[in-house]
Structure 1
């Protein structure tokens, strides 16, 4: 069964949907579809600043003087490129960020060298000229700065003038694995892969983590949200912020989970499956109800996301990830037979733990499922990530036939 929404509410982009006892192929993997605007790519607060007209005029005048006085040295071409960069639209050069610490007392040459070594600037020569022309090289504050990788000299200068500890908003959307969050953290320049792994393996004292099975990581407990990060943020402080957010938002629901004859860990496990299965927010509680009904009836969940997760575990995990990513789109009959405690096609009940980090909507749906008698669902022929639900196998098979006759089921 499968489908999918997302900044961090509301309707999610069309996604792939799967059915219990009636799988299908086709559709679009929701993780590959752009999210709503609120889940846009992280924006660097220090990367955009208001332009000052008088400063531009002064810079242009200085450049003209330098062009006349320094033409024989080849400087004009460098300055011209810098000016072009400064007047060009501020389009991102990539989604990876680097951090550079400027020590106290560093001169312009040392600053440029540090930026060039870190890969923060696309043209070190042009940056040197800009620092000399503007006099900014002797007026910069020491501290940690964050830059887009290979940023233009003009963009680097704007960040430097803004001072250290510029704020970046990092958005962690629902349904990601800890490894996928790690990729975002590394791209944002917050940590190396090794530092992220160290943060994942660090023992944690939070009481709500005690119910995890031995050896379990933090999957399910890193709360999806938008986090403000600055020059002092590390992998460790970000992980702690995510756990703190979980404690504030989710742990108050522990009593409700117990009233549902389960634990918070079990609720998170179900919520993570619901998160990976649903595209539209209004379907979450219905999908959760299908799984609850199947659990009560002793019927296997038969949820494809659990098999996708199982394929990435154990000895075959690395090879599977390299070949198909963290969420393999087209599962084969052999995949459905994988020997894993996470394979809900061959084992009854819930898997040992969450397969992703669910958002608040999926968690609430798992705890408060809709009051329906459905046992099955399959992607709707509308091909927009919605589902058709059924209480009987005959009705479900009829729904499967509708899907297979649709443009996305062929």
Structure 2
């Protein structure tokens, strides 16, 4: 009997040793690939629909885990993960698509927590004031956010325009210039929605604009889009707006070089001109404010807060004319009569991008 018990004891000891050895091996396989954290991380992209085994293979290929099968089984059976890493690690693993930066010093539990977050890699896109839909589209394509063609088509789609209750033919003027953090391969509709919602949010913070009906707001945005392309120094924006409003009241043409530039570059597809020529001011187009009095049919750019505020809360002046006197500084002189205006008359345009 004693001999039998001794054999059983030896077997149990050997079995316990084997279990302990196996547990040690498993824990080793589940440990971080690197014991030190040097700050280096590997970019991992998990596409929509990827399986857990597919993610395990990707992690192994990038030398971020020691064993694919262990990653899979800890993901499928949280109790195993809890055994390896302690209480609190037995929550279910849900693999979410996204772009992640994984450190080799992370263990399997930490990696799975990261891959469950749905984290995205954001791309910084700075849209300056005064850009048109086509220029914004080109910037988005360059940053690999969405194709320029898709963005332009979406912004000119009548159904899109109607959905936002804009009384015009496109979203021109309503894509607020700002710094955006977007993700790669977004839909054109999603990007446009972010920009236009930002516009309406900003407008709601300016009482004089927030109180306007759609038609009045559209006219104000149209005027602001011209002011945006004309001013260079912020304190002159309200004065330029006052000139245009005085001319509108008297049914005098706005004579804005910015509208001619819009015709040349956006409608006729020509390169950005260094100067506006006299023959350019004779082009037969409803956006030509040299030929037709009143506002053009719609905005010619996407204005920022300075221009919007200048046109919403315009000071009263007697000015009917302005012209550049210092091209380098962007300063203008403002006059009340034509004789003063023609003394040093010169036509300038802003460089592309403004």
Cα deviation, residue 193, structure 1: 2.9
Partner Cα separation in structure 1 for residue 66 and residue 172 of structure 2: 46
SS at match of 2:221: helix
Find the structure with the greater CA-based Rg. 2
TM-score normalised by length of structure 2: 0.64
Partner Cα separation in structure 2 for residue 357 and residue 224 of structure 1: 7
> Equivalent residue for 2:336?
391
Cα deviation, residue 282, structure 1: 0.8
> Equivalent residue for 2:227?
274
Picking from 213, 232, 250, the partner of 2:203 is 250
Partner Cα separation in structure 2 for residue 273 and residue 136 of structure 1: 61
> Equivalent residue for 1:177?
132
> Equivalent residue for 1:230?
183
State whether structure 2 residue 47 is matched by structure 1 residue 101.
yes
Contact 2:151 2:192 in 1 (8 A): no
Contact 2:208 2:313 in 1 (8 A): no
Contact 1:144 1:231 in 2 (8 A): no
Cα deviation, residue 245, structure 1: 1.8
> Equivalent residue for 1:209?
165
**Structure 1 segments of 4 or more deviating over 6 A?**
107-112, 136-139
In structure 2, the CA distance between the partners of 1:237 and 1:207, relative to structure 1 (3 Å rule), is: closer
| CA deviation vs aligned residue, 1:89-138 (integer Å, no higher than 9, x gap) | xxxxxxxxxx98373343698799xxxxxxxxxxxxxxx7xx34x65996
Contact 2:227 2:237 in 1 (8 A): yes
Partner Cα separation in structure 2 for residue 146 and residue 234 of structure 1: 21
CA-atom RMSD in angstroms = 3.8
State whether structure 2 residue 135 is matched by structure 1 residue 187.
no
Contact 2:123 2:184 in 1 (8 A): no
Contact 1:107 1:137 in 2 (8 A): no
Partner Cα separation in structure 2 for residue 275 and residue 392 of structure 1: 24
> Equivalent residue for 2:294?
349
Cα deviation, residue 53, structure 1: 11
In structure 2, the CA distance between the partners of 1:53 and 1:384, relative to structure 1 (3 Å rule), is: farther
State whether structure 2 residue 251 is matched by structure 1 residue 298.
yes
Structure with the bigger RCO (C-alpha within 8 Å, sep 6+) is: 1
Partner Cα separation in structure 1 for residue 156 and residue 318 of structure 2: 42
Contact 2:137 2:147 in 1 (8 A): no
Partner Cα separation in structure 2 for residue 385 and residue 373 of structure 1: 22
SS at match of 1:183: helix
Cα deviation, residue 296, structure 1: 1.8
Partner Cα separation in structure 1 for residue 321 and residue 193 of structure 2: 39
Cα deviation, residue 190, structure 1: 1.7
TM-score normalised by length of structure 1: 0.56
Cα deviation, residue 269, structure 1: 0.8
**Count of residue pairs the alignment pairs up:** 269
Contact 2:156 2:170 in 1 (8 A): yes
Partner Cα separation in structure 1 for residue 98 and residue 258 of structure 2: 41
In structure 2, the CA distance between the partners of 1:249 and 1:205, relative to structure 1 (3 Å rule), is: same
Contact 1:390 1:396 in 2 (8 A): yes
Cα deviation, residue 384, structure 1: 0.5
In structure 2, the CA distance between the partners of 1:204 and 1:334, relative to structure 1 (3 Å rule), is: same
In structure 2, the CA distance between the partners of 1:227 and 1:376, relative to structure 1 (3 Å rule), is: same
Contact 1:268 1:354 in 2 (8 A): yes
Mind listing any 5+ residue stretches in structure 2 that lack a counterpart?
A: 1-33, 72-94, 104-110, 349-354
Mind listing any 5+ residue stretches in structure 1 that lack a counterpart?
A: 1-51, 60-85, 87-98, 113-127, 148-153, 155-160, 405-410
Contact 2:161 2:171 in 1 (8 A): no
> Equivalent residue for 1:220?
173
Partner Cα separation in structure 2 for residue 170 and residue 301 of structure 1: 33
SS at match of 2:160: coil
State whether structure 2 residue 112 is matched by structure 1 residue 167.
no
State whether structure 2 residue 230 is matched by structure 1 residue 284.
no
